[in-house]
């Protein structure tokens, strides 16, 4: 359970229900985590998916994300299941293919604070398959006596957890998935209690029509998840360095496994630029610059996620047991890589077993010192002028 300092619950809980949407659910989760307003928890409810939807959510998750798995019961029941587990004061829901503006929650929060409303909503846009968009603004809705201006689409409205529970949540198995019906019940409850309804016409949510086509597999799919996460972080005016480096690391290793060395170097370079004080990022980037060594270290893998029994907080990219960080080298080769990286370190040598969280496995003949030295100049040339690599070749142009 996520709580703020002092034991207070988060202000917002965002419930994301998913059913076989491994291609997009990670983007929805990352979009919430990249909000400028960070006092939020994400409850992902997997409604009996048979694909890698859970792995997709975990790939971009941090400690604010909880994943709930249940037998297929329908989206309405899944939303209610998420509501029962949510701890935030205010609740909103997203579909797995929705996208949100970086200031989405901050804008809804300001609207709540400035109006004292019990139910607030915003505008959005519907993105069609031909990539054209139609703007959707809050509109007058409800019967006489409880009519108000609102938009009852996913992500476009929020109200308190208590009020949603009072009106029966989002429904149960077999109930309609339409949020408009939930919205009408909420209007009735707000009216009965003499509450206010407020809105802003600002476009804060995008609803994407589902595209039909092949979904990448294996490492290509993991790279897709990482790029979606990076896109969400990049849209924020205040990018989170830890999130950026984590997504870049996951993507860089996935690219390396596919032998896309240029993309691997680009992403792992991004990780070290985001957190230059973290030696792991420098070490991974160095290895990515040595293509023959990279190919031995990061072997192609079809495994996308650790055991489903592990909680998201136990499967963050920094601690994933699926060996996506593993250096599959002999002990002799590992020692040579460690010695080589020690020459490149500003402060101290690199202990592969601790600094890199690397497992060593037997994987063929050991690399030789010559293998490393042949590529040393290439690494230094790719380095930032003031980075650790410049010390290895001080005669390089600065």
Q: Where are the alpha helices (DSSP H) in 258-388?
A: 261-274, 279-289, 291-297, 331-344, 369-382
Is residue 183 situated within a structural domain?
Answer: yes
Is residue 81 situated within a structural domain?
Answer: yes
Is residue 331 situated within a structural domain?
Answer: yes
Residue 336 pLDDT greater than 60, yes or no: no
Helix (H, G, I), strand (E, B), or coil: what is residue 383? coil
Domain count of the fold of the chain: 2
Statement to judge: residues 317 and 232 lie in one domain: yes
Band (pLDDT 50/70/90 cuts) for residue 21 is very high
For 275-310, b/e burial (b = at least 16 CB within 10 A) is bbebbbbbbbbbbbbbbebbebbbeebeebbbeeee
* Neighbour count for residue 381 (Cβ, 10 Å): 12
Statement to judge: residues 225 and 326 lie in one domain: yes
* Neighbour count for residue 360 (Cβ, 10 Å): 16
- Least confident range from 133-142, 238-247, 332-341: namely 332-341
Q: How far is CA 145 from CA 189, 194, 203, 340, 398, in A?
A: 12, 12, 28, 76, 73
Last residue of a domain, one of 181, 208, 235: 208
Is residue 3 situated within a structural domain?
Answer: no
Beta strands in the chain (DSSP E): 12-18, 40-47, 65-70, 90-94, 98-100, 119-127, 133-136, 139-141, 148-150, 157-160, 197-208
pLDDT score at 245: 92
Is residue 396 situated within a structural domain?
Answer: no
Band (pLDDT 50/70/90 cuts) for residue 335 is low
Statement to judge: residues 33 and 127 lie in one domain: yes
- Count of H-run helices and E-run strands, the chain: 13, 11
Contact predicate 253/298, CB 8 Å: yes
Domain of residue 167, CATH code:
3.90.550.10
CA-based nearest residue to 143, from 111, 183, 173, 112: 183
Is residue 398 situated within a structural domain?
Answer: no
Statement to judge: residues 113 and 222 lie in one domain: no
To the nearest whole percent, how much of the chain has pLDDT over 90? 59
Statement to judge: residues 32 and 147 lie in one domain: yes
Last residue of a domain, one of 173, 208, 243: 208
Statement to judge: residues 254 and 295 lie in one domain: yes
| Residue 150 to residue 67: CA distance in whole angstroms | 30
* Neighbour count for residue 357 (Cβ, 10 Å): 13
Assessment of whether the complete model's pTM goes beyond 0.95: no
pLDDT score at 239: 87
Contact predicate 44/95, CB 8 Å: no
pLDDT score at 338: 55
300 or 12: which leads in pLDDT: 12
Band (pLDDT 50/70/90 cuts) for residue 113 is very high
Statement to judge: residues 64 and 108 lie in one domain: yes
176: its two tokens: 């309609």
Band (pLDDT 50/70/90 cuts) for residue 347 is very low
Residue 43 pLDDT greater than 80, yes or no: yes
Statement to judge: residues 115 and 250 lie in one domain: no
Statement to judge: residues 23 and 116 lie in one domain: yes
Last residue of a domain, one of 208, 233, 266: 208
Instruction: Look up the domain containing 281 and give its range.
Output: 218-391
Contact predicate 338/348, CB 8 Å: no
pLDDT digits (tens, 9 = 90+) for 220-259: 999 999 999 999 998 888 889 999 999 999 999 999 999 9
| Residue 336 to residue 376: CA distance in whole angstroms | 13
pLDDT score at 329: 41
| Residue 228 to residue 98: CA distance in whole angstroms | 12
| Residue 173 to residue 169: CA distance in whole angstroms | 12
pLDDT digits (tens, 9 = 90+) for 190-225: 999 999 999 999 999 999 999 888 888 889 999 999
């Amino acid at each position: 359970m996520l709580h703020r300092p002092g034991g207070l619950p988060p202000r917002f809980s965002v419930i994301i229900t998913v059913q076989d949407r491994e291609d997009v659910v990670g983007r929805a989760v990352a979009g919430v985590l990249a909000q400028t307003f960070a006092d939020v928890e994400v409850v992902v409810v997997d409604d009996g998916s048979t694909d890698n939807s859970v792995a997709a959510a975990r790939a971009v998750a941090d400690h604010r994300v909880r994943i709930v798995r249940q037998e297929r019961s329908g989206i309405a029941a899944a939303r209610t299941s998420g509501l029962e587990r949510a701890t935030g004061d205010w609740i909103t829901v997203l579909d797995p293919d929705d996208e949100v503006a970086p200031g989405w929650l901050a804008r809804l929060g300001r609207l709540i604070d400035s109006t004292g409303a019990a139910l607030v909503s915003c505008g959005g846009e519907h993105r069609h398959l031909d990539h054209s968009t139609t703007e959707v603004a809050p509109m007058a809705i409800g019967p006489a006596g409880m009519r108000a201006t609102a938009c009852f689409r996913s992500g476009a409205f929020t109200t308190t957890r208590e009020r949603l529970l009072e009106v029966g949540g989002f429904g149960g198995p077999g109930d309609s998935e339409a949020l408009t019906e939930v919205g009408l019940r909420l209007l009735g409850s707000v009216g009965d209690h003499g509450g206010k309804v407020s809105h802003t016409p600002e476009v804060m949510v995008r609803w994407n029509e589902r595209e039909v086509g092949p979904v990448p597999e294996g490492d290509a799919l993991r790279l897709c998840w990482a790029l979606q996460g990076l896109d969400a972080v990049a849209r924020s005016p205040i990018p989170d360095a830890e999130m950026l480096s984590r997504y870049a690391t996951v993507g860089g290793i996935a690219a390396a496994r596919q032998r896309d060395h240029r993309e691997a170097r680009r992403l792992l370079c991004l990780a070290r630029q985001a957190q230059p004080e973290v030696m792991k990022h420098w070490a991974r980037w160095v290895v990515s610059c040595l293509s023959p060594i990279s190919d031995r270290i990061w072997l192609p893998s079809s495994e996308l996620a650790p055991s489903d029994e592990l909680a998201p907080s136990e499967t963050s990219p920094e601690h994933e047991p699926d060996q996506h960080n593993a250096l599959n080298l002999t002990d002799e080769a590992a020692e040579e890589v460690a010695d080589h990286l020690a020459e490149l370190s500003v402060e101290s040598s690199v202990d592969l077993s601790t600094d890199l969280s690397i497992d060593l496995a037997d994987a063929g003949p050991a690399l030789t010192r010559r293998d490393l030295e042949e590529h040393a100049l290439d690494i230094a040339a790719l380095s930032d002028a003031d980075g650790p690599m410049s010390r290895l070749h001080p005669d390089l142009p600065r």
